[in-house]
Structure 1
Amino acid sequence: MRGRASALCAVPLLALLGACAPAATKTAAPVQASTPVSRVSFYPLETGLAWTYLPEGEAAGSLPYTLRALGPTVFVGQPVFAFGLTGRGAEQTWYRQVGADGVRLLGFRKPGVTVRLEPAWVEAPAEGAWRVGLSWEGQSRVTLTSDNGQVQAQGTLRYRYDVQDRRRVNTPAGSFDVWVITRQISDDVGGLFPQVQQVWFAPFVGDVRTPEGLLLTARNFGGK
């Protein structure tokens, strides 16, 4: 879902997200809309899908993060699918190309800065390629640009993925058969990402544990 970057861009995602958590207040139930989805892809991307997460180890009932599939759009001149994360003051949008041949991240946006990746970062393999022992790696040129179009930093990101296991896990959202993946990242633009993360991915569900250590608590759709 880098020269030396500004302090804003050097903060790992969870640290940034946790900095602005609003105090809980008692309000009327919000008006909500739902988008019926009759079919969910292996890599879920259908507009209207939503997932909620809490940091691993945090008590149920805390203010969640919400990830939404925002639908098709264009990023740096290429057709992509947008995914937006909000909650606790967070606001981030990822721009991905998603299909049977895998998932590729072209870039993402936080308030005030857009990050572009060239070539696109391969986040997941072709649907039929999953197996324990699978690994892939690559590198991307990273460009950070401010809202006024000024380039803030450029550098190189390197990544490696290793599929370590396939197992059943229990989460607040239910029980899932997941692929357990270790993701290792290095960059020279101030550390946009934690260096090593573990991800749990379930086909037709999405990330059950995100690279930022968020566990799935609920979703608004069924899955296989």
Structure 2
Amino acid sequence: MKRALLALFVLLAACAPAPTTAPEATLRVEGPVGFYPARAGLEWVYLPQGDRLDDPPYRLQVLGPTAWNGVNAVQYRFSGRGQERLYYRQVSADGVRLLGFEEVISASRVTFDPPLLEYPPQALLEVGYRWGGRTRVRSVFVLPSGVEEQARFDLEYTFTVIGKGEVRVPAGVFEAYMIRFSGRSSDGETSEYEAWFVPHLGEVRTREGLLLVRRNF
């Protein structure tokens, strides 16, 4: 079970693609969005590498301010191909902290205590910089009869900026930071992924290996 939870950081679920559909119309967001974009209404559209542009996409949307366990947070919605996940983050010039997430379809909820630092203070983001920590991961099922614990373990993690350079994705060519995540659970399970981040734009390659196709800002 710990392996399955740790894999949530890197695994692109192998759901069968739905029938091809026309792109959904989204409103364009004008104005500044921040170094780490977190403005309500922002949307990113992604596809796995090698997919056709008319294949069913994955979407990441900023839903806006909310609360997570009594703490102020920004809610993000990731959806597509049979998946729906709600992320809860704190975003500021001091970095991006992941408080937890909910798997809507399986009615499960995962928390990080303390929050997992996904991105550092923006002034520190440069090639060679490394950050990380240790967090307690707890996963529960939220059932009509109550909460049922699924798993609990410690996670040691490290992020490293391994490079910065020009990357090409379906949405265009960007100057991106290449960031590697390494994680190890308390029972020895390990996990790695690489993401590409562009300031004021977001991830053009996600932890799941999805590539940016378009955005609405």
> What's the CA shift string for 1:178-210, capped at 9, x where partnerless?
00111111225897xx81111100000000101
**Farther-moved stretch of structure 1 (51-60 vs 39-48):** 51-60
How far apart are 1:56 and its partner, in Å? 1.9
Structure 2: runs of 5 or more not aligned: none
Please point out which of 134, 137, 147 is paired with 1:139: 134
Structure 1: runs of 5 or more not aligned: none
Counterpart in 2 of 1:72? 65
1:38 aligns with 2:31: yes
1:83, 1:94 within 8 Å by CA — same for their partners in 2?
Answer: yes
Q: Which has the higher strand share?
A: 2
Name the SS of the counterpart of 2:15 in structure 1.
helix
Please point out which of 108, 131, 135 is paired with 1:113: 108
Q: Percent of counterpart pairs with the same letter?
A: 36
How far apart are 1:59 and its partner, in Å? 2.9
Quote the RMSD (CA, aligned, Å): 2.4
Give, in whole Å, the separation in 1 of the partners of 2:3 and 2:125: 37
Q: Which amino acid aligns with 1:95?
A: Y
Name the SS of the counterpart of 2:34 in structure 1.
coil
Please point out which of 210, 217, 220 is paired with 2:213: 217
Question: What is the aligned residue count?
Answer: 212
Counterpart in 1 of 2:45? 52
Q: Which amino acid aligns with 1:77?
A: G
Give, in whole Å, the separation in 1 of the partners of 2:11 and 2:95: 29
> What's the CA shift string for 1:26-53, capped at 9, x where partnerless?
x7x86x4526442211000000000000
Give, in whole Å, the separation in 2 of the partners of 1:183 and 1:60: 28
Name the SS of the counterpart of 2:19 in structure 1.
coil
TM-score (norm. length: structure 1): 0.86
Give, in whole Å, the separation in 2 of the partners of 1:56 and 1:158: 29
TM-score (norm. length: structure 2): 0.88
How far apart are 1:218 and its partner, in Å? 0.4
Counterpart in 2 of 1:199? 195
1:130 aligns with 2:125: yes
Give, in whole Å, the separation in 1 of the partners of 2:135 and 2:196: 23
Change beyond 3 A, Cα 1:152–1:204: same
2:127, 2:163 within 8 Å by CA — same for their partners in 1?
Answer: yes
2:10, 2:191 within 8 Å by CA — same for their partners in 1?
Answer: no
